Amino acid sequence: MTKQGNLNDQDVYKQGIYAREELSTTGIGEGIAIPHARSEAVNAPGLAAMVVKDGVDYQSLDN
Q: Can you say how many angstroms the Cα of residue 9 is from the centroid of all Cα atoms in its chain?
A: 14
Catalytic residue selected from 25, 36, 37, 43: 36
Question: Distance (Å, rounded) from C-alpha 32 to C-alpha 35?
Answer: 10
60 carries an active-site annotation? no
Q: List residues bridging with 29 in a β-sheet.
A: 32
The DSSP call for residue 38 is -
Q: Any idea which residues carry the catalytic annotation?
A: 36
